[in-house]
Structure 1
Amino acid sequence: MSRMPGAVWRPVVNFHPSGVREHRGAVLHVQDGNNSPYGWFNNHASQSSSDFWVSKTGVIEQYVNTGVDYAWAQAAGNPYYASIETEGHPDEPLTAAQIEGVAKIYSWGHTEFSWPLIVVDSTTKHGLTYHGVGGSAWGGHPGCPGDLRKPQRAAIIARATELATPASNRHVSVAHLVAAMKADSAGAQGHVTYKTEGLILEDALYREDLLTRYWVDGSLGSKARDAYKAWQRSKAGGAYTGDDADGYPGIKSLTRLAARHNFIAIP
């Protein structure tokens, strides 16, 4: 039985036992409603269900033994892809908590079934796809999960990749960040010095609500420095001031950020 740790286990009657043929990845869905769909999925008359549901607050419910039995979510795609239902409507974006919840599911699936950490728009390729791409063969839901949620799969995969990568493999150097902030801000728009480390830092600042997703690009210009300054002044635990809150990372403030976002700070 493949049950995800941390998910609320709520088995339903609507599923196909031992029907999974291949572990291709997962399909993102939108509920087009609010509150847990458990009652609907546990009703024979509905003829529908999903592997998982993620609430707007990040609660994860699991309804079938993923990878063994399949849910009734995307018709012809059911034997090949797990399904992830998300609370809300197609004209609403996923909340930050939902992105985190879906990423946790996908990271688990990557470890459990080798789902590749990529976004795909396909009914046959391995990765994170979406319901509407399947057309009539997948039930005819072209608007699922919605134009706002489809592109958020990139953020889901980015976070799932982070969750699936041990912190020991994610080192961020204070010296590199300071050098990058100076070089990138002095260079042309989009200048990149240390992209991998820059992306790790920017993603952490984004998840602290200090930097918008648009600026998570690996280029540590003025936006990244301002965001880090805000981290130093208000969230780093020391309420730094003066030269200690100039936006350039120090080992103490970066270590605090690293502890919250699965990377290791080094001098």
Structure 2
Amino acid sequence: MAPPLSAATFIDALRAEGLDVVEVGDWADHNRNHKGPWGPVHGVMIHHTVTRGSAATVALCRDGRTGLPGPLCHGVITKDGRVHLVGYGRANHAGLGDGDVLQAVIAERGLPVDNEASTDGNRYFYGFECENLGDGQDPWPAAQLLAIERVAAAICRRHGWSERSVIGHLEWQPGKVDPRGFTMASMRERIAKRLGIKPQTTPLPTPSKPVVDLSQLAAAARSNPKAKGRPVTYAGTRIVEAALVDAGLLAKVRLDGHFGEDTVTAYAKWQRSKAGGSFTGDAADGIPGKTSLVNLGRRYGFDVKE
């Protein structure tokens, strides 16, 4: 078990790795520790922000947004390669993810495909948000990629971890696609070289997009919350719930695998939204249909099976 580095040791490690570090306000005391434990730590998680503009990005990651208070990470890596420290301690960055992935990170072995959202990642991971639109087209400048490499290596070096303790959000939580625009396999190879470790020769599995079965999901939605007997549910409900949480339409506490009344209400809001298809009236009933579900999948990284 590894206790988190002290704030002083953390920033010292980053600077020792040659990084340009910017301290933002009271970053060392800005956290969500009152909401749950911070540590033991087991790895580093990389994200992209889906934002444009360094100042606005740093402010968002420090302060958070409606329904998701800041800090949203420990450091923001902007396109110029600077690392802006916005918080230290528990941060709202990882969310619920796959416990099997956590065990693989702890053991520093190849990652399984993430297919569950049941383990609190905010407790166990250092988190870095990287300024990028996340559309696969926004470029990743060399200075920014180098900073990501150095940040991860700095923390791994202090903890005695290998590059396999560094993962992307897409490898942790079903439905996530970040970081998009480079592969985590290539980044881990860079980190290994910086650490002076020969890269692992065992190939890591390429995470596939999760698939949501439309007919099963619709059955789960129709059976809840007023049907008598045991509600219909299956793995796809967690994927869709995670997407609705990410969209700010569903509270994280409702991410339980059951397409209950709150999930139906949240899905109806998605159907009515422009991104969901701009449905109105009875068409926005909270029961997933092909158009709205495909739109949700495109945005949050899962495929749809009819």
Q: TM-score, normalised by structure 2?
A: 0.43
Larger radius of gyration: 1
Q: TM-score, normalised by structure 1?
A: 0.49
